């Protein structure tokens, strides 16, 4: 059975003993945020299990591994600093609390190539990462502003997910049994993941995200789901199977087109097993 409000198809069924509502978010932060809010508004759900595939920023992880981050951040909200200003200069609208320099910046000059590139400067200058403005429903008072960069998953869901250690995941592409990974993928409990409405196919930016924020999974939706859940007080967790090393690496690491179906199947496997535990 299904329902079709607001351009989305909500499907109803059961997984194990759990009644579930399943909906596809669509691509990007806007779609996933809107879909999550619709889900919470239209239905009496007790929690959210979000799943899909993601790029990988951790070279120690393998394609097909399913990452379960403890925190998610939106890394696409920036204050773009004017040319000629640097870390010592206050950002526009920083003084009234709208923006901050606490989370660090990406300086484009650091990535300019060529002779004397570092001293040449870059008119694009740099961007400073910003937390999201949030209005938690739990405050009981409307328009009470807060800020959140790292949105946590539900602690109980996270601990329950640890029971999935050893779950059997696919290691070979179904359509071609000869295309197999070096080892069987595994569930990986990691500290952080990040999202933005940007498809990251750039090794330099992948390495920046890893070094600055310590993320493993890099996708385009999960942080929006996490931030809506945070504001609405809904328990939430995400499982993201790694489909490629974002921006490329070793021979098999950038084959997202080859391994995406395998990663998607592994994400579904873990999500179904996790939902079955949520009694």
Question: pLDDT digit string (tens) for 162-204?
Answer: 999 999 999 998 675 578 899 999 999 999 999 999 999 999 9
Would you state the pLDDT for residue 177?
58
Rounded Cα–Cα distance for residues 29 and 229 (Å): 14
DSSP alpha helix (H) spans, 88-196: 117-120, 155-161
> 40: Cβ–Cβ under 8 A, 6 or more apart, which residues?
228, 229, 232, 234
Domains of the chain: 47-74+134-277 (3.40.50.1580), 79-129 (no CATH)
CA angle 198, 204, 210 (to 5 degrees): 80
Strand locations in the chain (E): 2-3, 10-15, 18-22, 48-56, 66-74, 78-81, 105-107, 126-129, 132-134, 146-148, 150-152, 187-195, 217-219, 236-245
pLDDT at 253: 47
Overall size of the chain counted in residues: 279
pLDDT at 114: 76
Task: Extract the tokens encoding 178.
Answer: 């000869």
At 121 the pLDDT is 82
Distance CA 239, CA 264 (A): 11
Task: Quick: pLDDT tens for 243-262.
Answer: 988 787 655 545 667 889 99
Q: Would you call 182 helix, strand, or coil by DSSP?
A: coil
82 DSSP 8-state letter? P
Structure tokens that stand for 89 in this block: 């200069």
In this prediction, residues 120-135 reach a mean pLDDT of 94
Contact 209, 90 (CB under 8 A): no
Of 277, 158, 201, residue with least CA distance to 209 = 201
pLDDT higher than threshold 80 for residue 44: yes
Provide the percentage of residues in the chain whose pLDDT is more than 90: 81
Q: pLDDT tens digit string along 137-155?
A: 887 788 889 999 999 999 9
pLDDT surpassing 70 at residue 94: yes
Of 1-5, 258-262, 269-273, the one with minimum mean pLDDT is 1-5
Residues 6+ apart with CB under 8 A from 96: none
pLDDT at 78: 99
Instruction: Evaluate if residue 115 carries a pLDDT over 90.
Output: no
Mean pLDDT for the chain overall: 93
CA distance from start to end of the chain: 23
């Amino acid at each position: 059975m299904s329902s079709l409000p607001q351009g989305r198809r909500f499907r109803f069924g059961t997984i194990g003993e759990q009644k579930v509502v399943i909906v596809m978010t669509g691509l990007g932060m806007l779609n996933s945020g809107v879909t999550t809010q619709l889900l919470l508004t239209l239905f009496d759900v007790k929690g959210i299990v979000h799943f899909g595939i993601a790029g990988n920023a951790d070279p120690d992880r393998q394609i097909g591994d399913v990452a379960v981050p403890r925190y998610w951040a939106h890394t696409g909200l920036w204050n773009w600093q004017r040319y000629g200003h640097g870390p010592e200069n206050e950002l526009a609208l920083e003084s009234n609390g709208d923006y901050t320099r606490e989370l660090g910046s990406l300086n484009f000059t650091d990535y300019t190539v060529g002779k004397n590139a570092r001293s040449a400067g870059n008119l694009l200058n740099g961007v400073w990462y910003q937390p999201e403005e949030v209005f938690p429903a739990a405050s009981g008072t409307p328009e009470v502003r807060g800020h959140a960069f790292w949105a946590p998953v539900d602690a109980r869901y996270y601990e329950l997910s640890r029971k999935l250690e050893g779950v059997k995941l696919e290691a070979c592409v179904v359509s071609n049994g000869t295309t197999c990974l070096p080892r069987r993928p595994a569930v990986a409990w990691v500290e952080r993941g990040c999202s933005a409405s940007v498809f990251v196919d750039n090794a330099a930016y992948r390495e920046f995200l890893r070094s600055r924020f310590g993320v493993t999974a890099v996708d385009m939706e999960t942080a929006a789901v996490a931030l809506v859940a945070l504001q609405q007080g809904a328990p939430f967790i995400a499982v993201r199977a790694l489909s490629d090393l974002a921006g490329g690496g070793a021979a098999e690491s950038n084959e997202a087109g080859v391994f995406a179906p395998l990663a998607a199947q592994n994400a579904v496997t873990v999500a179904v097993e996790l939902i079955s535990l949520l009694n």
